[in-house]
Every structure is written in structure tokens, then in C-alpha cells.
């Protein structure tokens, strides 16, 4: 068993991490750090974990085997400056502090971008992982095969809608029930923070920059991301589907469907489900994930499994919450 520390225990992502790790066959929670709520039972913060006896603490074990940083964007660096972990301690950061190439080296630690379907073998050899963003995961998984085949020669258009949990646990004017219910809106049009990591990944495969025009949307549901991605392409639908199936043939959590897909197929799972269509001169890819699992906590555990040489699916075998 490897010992796990969770840094920042009160948010939605931390709650999902705890839920997954409680049943993980080879990872055991060592401590859950929270400066503001030390001494509180986890069940008092995450009431879906009402059977848990775990307690939040303000003490950090610097010798633990792996830590998951579930802090707000910009806070992981300051935490690692304050706490110098043992050199054998692996780190998975779930913020955006280390995702971009210019930020990937910090205090002598080199962070690997943790999109498994992009660079699985490199992740296996890494000790420090920058977990991808949720929108970035959904969109990149729709584009990786096209980029590798050098087919992204025109502007890429993306429209993607996320559930309310994508905004985090702290309430805001656009996340409380009376505003969100029966409502929909756009935000950060063409300027979302995940565009940077998407661009770097695509450029590394395509070997040139590709313009991605992304319209993010807030949905009136709890969790999940539904994205439609399209660009001009002269390949046939059959050939494109074969390309995607070949690229993802060894991916345990990314699957290609030949039928219309919908969000409920992946909610509460670590899967990404893709559907490819050719409409006139454009390829249209639909990509769906659970933002809290494949888009955050689940992908973080998937990365940890690879770093330790465990079964990639350990702790992540969930059926979708379909009904």
C-alpha cells in the first residue's frame, strides 16, 4: 500500500478523490490537509461520505508516498515552497500552476503534463504531474488523433458546456440555484485559461500552431462536459473513424462510439466517449466526460496508478449514473 496525502480537502474535487481512494486497492489515505478546517470530520464537509471516520488535519507528513494538490490556482507553488517533501514523494497537482511548459519546472522539480492518452509512457517515468484542466481534457481528446495525422490545417471551432461543479464549491452569482436552474450562458469566449495547454499539446503533435476558437458555456446540470468540435477535413467519415479507433485502441478510458452519444453515458465515470461524423466538408467530433473524474480527480488517480506501476483502472471502475 502507498500512503496518500490530499492537500486541500474541502472542495468538490477533493471529495471525489477521497471517494475513489477509500476503495483503491493499493493507495491508502495518510492525511487530508486543511488549514481552515483542521479537526473537522471529512463527513461534516462531504456529507455523502457520512460513513467515513477520516478527520482533516493541519499537519503534513513530508515522508508520504504521493500527494494530490487540490488547491486553488496559484496556490500550489506557495505550498510547495513552504513544505519540502521527501525526494521520493510523488506529486499530482490539480491546479493550473505547472501545466504550461514555461511553468513546468519549479524548485528543481520537472512536472509532466498528465494527459494519459497524449504521453502515457512519459507519465510512467515521472514523479511530478500537472493534471490537465477539465475542458482541456475534453477538447484535446477530440483532437489528438487529428493532430497526430497532421489534419488540423484550418481553424478549429469548439462549443462546450459544463455542469455547475466546474465552477468549484464556493458560491458565486452564476452558480447558486436560482440563477443556474433553467438557465444557460457563455463566459470567457475565445479567452478561456485552458486554451494555453490545448495549444501546446496540439502544436507538439501537429508541429505548427492551430487556431482554436472556443466558446465555453455554463449548463443547468450538476456535472459533466459536453463538447462539439469541428474543422474542415477532406477525409471520409469511415477513414476518420478508423483513425480515431486506431489512436485509442489501447486507451482504457477513452472510447469511440459509432452511435449518437450523450452526457449521461459518462457521468460518475473516468471515461471519455467520442463520436465522429463527417458533415459536408467538416469533421464533427462530440466529446463527453465527467468534469470531476476524467476531468480532475479520476485522471489524477489514473496518473498515480501509472507512476506506481499499478493497474491503470485501479480505484476507477465506476458505472455511469444513467438513471
Any idea which residues carry the catalytic annotation?
Answer: 134
Integer Cα distance of 292 and 169 in angstroms: 12
Rg, Å, the chain Cα set: 19
The distance between the two most distant Cα atoms of the chain, rounded to a whole number of Å, is 60
Nearest CA-CA partner of 321 in 274, 262, 248: 262
Parallel, antiparallel or unpaired: strands 272-279 and 282-289: antiparallel
Alpha-carbon dihedral 167, 156, 147, 311, rounded to 10 degrees: 20
For the chain, where are the E strands, in sequence order? 2-7, 27-33, 66-69, 90-93, 105-106, 109-110, 112-113, 128-130, 156-162, 185-186, 212-218, 225-232, 254-257, 272-279, 282-289
Integer Cα distance of 114 and 267 in angstroms: 21
Nearest CA-CA partner of 316 in 225, 249, 254: 254
Residue 89 · residue 97 · CB < 8 Å: no
> In the chain, which residue ranges form alpha helices assigned H by DSSP?
12-22, 42-45, 76-82, 116-124, 134-148, 177-180, 195-206, 237-247, 297-308
Amino acid at each position: 500500500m502507498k500512503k496518500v496525502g490530499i492537500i486541500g480537502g474541502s472542495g468538490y474535487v477533493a471529495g471525489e478523490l477521497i471517494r475513489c481512494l477509500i476503495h483503491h486497492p493499493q493507495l491508502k489515505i495518510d492525511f487530508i490537509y486543511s488549514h481552515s478546517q483542521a479537526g473537522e470530520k471529512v463527513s461534516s464537509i462531504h456529507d455523502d461520505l457520512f460513513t467515513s471516520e477520516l478527520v482533516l488535519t493541519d499537519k503534513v507528513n513530508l515522508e508520504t508516498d504521493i500527494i494530490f494538490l487540490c488547491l486553488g490556482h496559484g496556490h500550489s507553488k506557495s505550498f510547495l515552497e513552504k513544505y519540502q517533501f521527501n525526494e521520493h514523494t510523488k506529486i499530482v497537482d490539480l491546479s493550473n500552476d505547472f501545466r504550461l511548459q514555461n511553468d513546468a519546472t519549479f524548485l528543481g522539480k520537472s512536472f509532466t503534463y498528465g494527459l494519459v492518452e497524449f504521453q502515457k509512457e512519459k507519465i510512467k517515468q515521472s514523479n511530478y504531474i500537472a493534471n490537465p484542466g477539465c475542458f482541456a481534457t475534453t477538447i484535446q481528446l477530440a483532437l489528438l488523433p487529428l493532430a497526430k495525422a497532421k489534419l488540423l490545417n484550418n481553424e478549429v471551432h469548439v462549443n462546450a458546456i459544463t455542469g455547475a461543479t466546474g465552477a468549484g464549491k464556493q458560491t458565486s452569482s452564476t452558480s447558486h440555484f436560482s440563477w443556474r436552474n433553467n438557465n444557460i450562458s457563455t463566459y470567457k469566449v475565445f479567452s478561456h485559461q485552458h486554451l494555453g495547454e490545448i495549444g501546446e499539446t496540439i502544436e507538439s503533435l501537429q508541429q505548427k500552431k492551430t487556431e482554436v476558437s472556443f466558446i465555453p458555456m455554463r449548463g443547468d446540470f450538476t456535472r459533466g462536459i459536453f463538447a462539439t468540435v469541428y474543422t474542415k477535413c477532406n477525409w471520409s467519415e469511415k477513414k476518420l473513424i478508423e483513425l480515431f479507433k486506431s489512436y485509442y485502441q489501447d486507451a482504457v478510458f477513452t472510447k469511440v462510439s459509432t452511435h449518437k452519444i450523450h452526457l449521461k453515458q459518462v457521468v460518475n465515470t473516468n471515461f471519455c466517449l467520442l463520436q465522429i461524423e463527417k458533415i459536408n466538408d467538416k469533421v464533427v467530433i462530440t466529446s463527453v466526460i465527467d468534469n470531476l473524474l476524467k476531468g480532475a480527480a479520476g485522471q489524477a488517480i489514473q496518473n498515480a496508478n501509472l507512476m506506481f506501476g499499478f493497474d491503470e483502472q485501479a480505484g476507477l471502475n465506476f458505472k455511469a449514473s444513467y438513471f
